[in-house]
Chain A
Amino acid sequence: MVQHQRRWRMRRLAAVTAVGVMAAAGCSSIDTPAGDDADDTAAEGEPQTGGTLTYLQAGDVSTFDPAMLPQVNYVMLPQLFDTLISLDAELEPQPELAESWEFSDDRSQLTLHLKEGVVFHDGTPFTAQSVAFTLEHYRDPEVGALIRPLLAAVSEVEVVDDTTVVLHFSEEPVSVFDALDLMFIIPEGDRDRIATEPIGTGPFELESRQPGVGLTLVRNEDYWKDGQPYLDQIEVVAARDQQAAIVQLESDAGDILLRPQYSDLARLEDQDGISTRVLDISPNMLSLHVNVASPELVDANVRKAISLAINRERIAETVLAGTVEPACLPWSEGSPAYNEKQVREGCAYDPAEAERLLADAGYDGSAELSIVVQSGVEPAYAAAAEIIAEDLRQIGVTVAIEPAEEAEAARRLDQRDYDLYSKGYGRANRDPVTAIRSTAAWRPDDGVTNYASPEYTDLVNRAAAETDPQARQQIFEQLNQLILDESFMLTITSLPTTFAFADHVGGLTTNLEGMPLLDEAWISE
């Protein structure tokens, strides 16, 4: 895992020419999911087979259970496992382990035709039984699968034969493809071993693991996509934190780093031999969560005032290093509910109007509101909180930033023990109903902001049941308006996925969730 330092110096020379090309290209954006012709990474030319890629990240992989989706596991999930389908940038399902599929006329059934001849890493064949077993695992509440709410519509899983599975639905399956896009297939077997012994159909297999240090993945020679993967091996190195990971990348002890901090992008781009990329569409959004049960924040006008007082532009410029535009709708640009006009009108920065609203609402500025920030995970949360705190002080709202370490921050969120909370949420680039139902921030019932209303629930249900795109657009417009009016979640900007990599790395893509796909990655030596 420790590279020869000599190469660093040689590579500096070789990279000078490459840097010239890169400098011309600049820090451009690339499209996300596989299936797109998006080989925009540094290395030029044809993919070369062979070599070891050293992948750096802050923190170690936790459990191997693919039902859990913490960000530290992103590196290994699509490498070890496959899904039945994958969603492209237009949210259209593309075949993976499922070759084709069709809905019944009333959309109460989805028949999936599975690929034949695929085997798991332990040699057992991939069949419809594997899919049924996987679904059962994901639907077990004790497993804690993130996508479980998205599978709520599934009433029955029917194995017709080895290559055919039928999903029966009890309601309109609005989120089924979002769920299948994130459902990594595991073989039938002992459920107690899933967490520690990963067996999938993916392009790489687990060779070894050292807890706290990292893992080694090796090529799956029997991978069902011919000619892939190109890499012989992937070394995942778990650095202590972001800064340690960056130091390793800069000292040539690693090839690629996912999600370097926005504040480090410019510096990394300036380095010889290292390039950075910022992806277009992000699943993650930065938002100020507002606890509507907090006595000072019960009045929607007060919350609206807070929204108007936040200088989103400034946050986008300074915290996100100008990589994004301000946002105030929950959805990223690719989402069906994204509405240019409503963004323009709703994302206003108007402190004067904010003060007027507060005065009208009779806001008593004596109480100090807390802004909770989880420290150590994403510096953007804390930096944004600082700016927001200052913005709010300008209009007479007293705030105090309260950093909390991971477990305490989780507790405060879970117990709704906060006034304001600076945090991100995910799946903003998927179907809006998926985003709403699978995030604690937006859930119509028992949402983490304590906001609930019959109108909100009704609109979400209607959006879920409606299949006509035009009609859905209208429902979303109403939903957006409600969200802007009620101001219980103040979206600030998106949090784009970034990565930094050595110039000899090529062929990197990501899926819709921002997970790195290394089946087409290669290294030029």
Chain B
Amino acid sequence: MSMTRYVAGRLAQIVLLAFLASLLIFMFSRALPGDPATLYAGPDATAETVAAVRSSFGLDDPIFVQYWRWLTEALQGNFGQSYNSRLPVSELVVGALPATLQLAAAGLLLALIIGLPTGVISALKPGSKADYAITTYNGLALSIPGFWLAILLIILFALVLGLLPAGGRVSFLDDPAGALRAIALPAVVLAFRLSAVLSRFTRTVVLEALNDDHVLTATAKGLSRRAVLTRHVFRNAVVPLITIIAVEVAELLNGAVILEALFGWPGMGWLSVDAVQTRDYLLLQAMLLVFVLVTLSLNLLADVTHARLDPRVRTRRGAVR
């Protein structure tokens, strides 16, 4: 099967899944108890007022009419308005996206810088002091809850030392130094856990590659250690690594909900929590759709890269491990 056919097939799959997801997402939002009109009108509103507000939100129409209206308008790029702020949903989502992208990128970068080298070192020197230290670090990083670490760091660096801000996001364009200081703590907390995941995975993958038959053959042929590593071990290790990175990135892009809340970081995670709490159906639906599409797309990207790098996948004979 050629690459193009493979990708085309997968894209068609995504479109179909997105449609199905949109239906489920719509139903799910409406199934939540409580409604936005009651919330918007406030606890002292009369029943008449709440009914009038509900009607102005278009929530009186039959459910399928509402779904159809939403779907058709969404396909034209109009995702409706937030019930609370009356701002266009697309504007809100697009507004939150850069913050999440920025945080995801910073966290990922930091995690890669720490995780990949430590994983490799750990794999190349199993049982050594370095390996032991790295494994301990990984264990800690995976077991320490992110929110606990976040609070600790805020207390230390913002309150006690006064070096970094306690929260909020600063735009890089406005104030680069301030932006770096604002992103430092949340990126570190994100990277902490992710670096451990990457490190462990890298270690496993490199170890397995080292023990592959073809590596043994290459060494036996007399290839230098370095050549063996770069040409054979790492190349094969990269493939599954891409997959895990793609999966983790999808998670990052969906927004680290708790961390964004703690640091007052106005990204996708924060926005989606807000949408759920205020039953902002249209905003919630758009966000869930974005999550679904991001996850599906990244998985596709991972698979395509995998297929590109590993011809065995394309020929559907599967990888031999």
Contact = CB atoms under 8 A, between A and B. Distances in A.
B162 interface: yes
A237 interface: yes
Interface string A232-262: 0000011111001001101111000000000
Contacts of A143: 53
A257 B40 CA distance: 24
A210 B39 CA distance: 22
B50 interface: yes
Contacts of B261: 240-241
Contacts of A68: 40, 42
Contacts of A441: 44
Interface in B46-91: 46-50, 52-53, 55-56, 84-87
B135 interface: no
A213 B162 contact: no
B222 interface: no
A247 B266 contact: no
Contacts of B8: none
A13 to B, nearest CB: 14
Contacts of A21: none
Contact of B165 (A196, A210, A251, A411): A251
B314 to A, nearest CB: 44
A408 B49 contact: no
Interface residues of A, number: 54
B40 A446 contact: no
Contact of A407 (B35, B86, B87): B35
B38 interface: yes
Given A212-B274, A244-B264, A142 B56 contact: yes
A69 B163 CA distance: 38
A244 B52 CA distance: 36
A399 B69 CA distance: 46
Contacts of A247: 154, 158-159, 166-167
Contacts of B95: 210-212
Interface stretch (A81-89, A144-152, A507-515): A144-152
Nearest to A376: B277
B49 A141 contact: yes
B205 interface: no
A240 B262 contact: yes
Interface in B180-194: 181-182
A18 to B, nearest CB: 20
A453 interface: no
A433 interface: no
Contact of B34 (A5, A62, A411, A446): A411
A423 B178 CA distance: 41
Interface in A430-473: 438-441, 443, 446, 448
A63 B158 contact: no
A387 B198 CA distance: 49
Interface centre among A62, A142, A407, A440 (most CB of B within 10 A): A407
Contacts of B38: 407, 410-411, 414
B151 to A, nearest CB: 10
B169 interface: yes
A91 to B, nearest CB: 20
A431 to B, nearest CB: 16
B277 A253 contact: no
B63 to A, nearest CB: 18
A253 B168 contact: yes
B270 interface: yes
Contacts of A25: none
Nearest to B95: A211
Contacts of B32: 407
A9 interface: yes
Contacts of B167: 239-240, 244, 247-248, 253
B279 interface: yes
A406 B38 CA distance: 11
Given A142-B55, A237-B168, 6 more contacts: A2-B182, A144-B40, A213-B169, A240-B270, A248-B166, A413-B43
4 closest pairs, A vs B, by CB? A407-B34, A141-B52, A195-B86, A411-B34
Interface of A: 1-2, 5, 8-9, 62-63, 65, 68-70, 141-144, 146, 148-149, 195-196, 210-213, 237-241, 244, 247-248, 250-253, 405-408, 410-411, 413-414, 423, 425-426, 438-441, 443, 446, 448
Interface of B: 32-36, 38-50, 52-53, 55-56, 84-87, 92, 95-96, 154, 158-159, 162-163, 165-170, 175, 178, 181-182, 261-262, 264, 266, 270-271, 274, 277-279
12 contacts: A2-B165, A2-B170, A8-B162, A69-B42, A70-B42, A142-B56, A146-B42, A241-B261, A253-B166, A410-B43, A414-B50, A440-B46
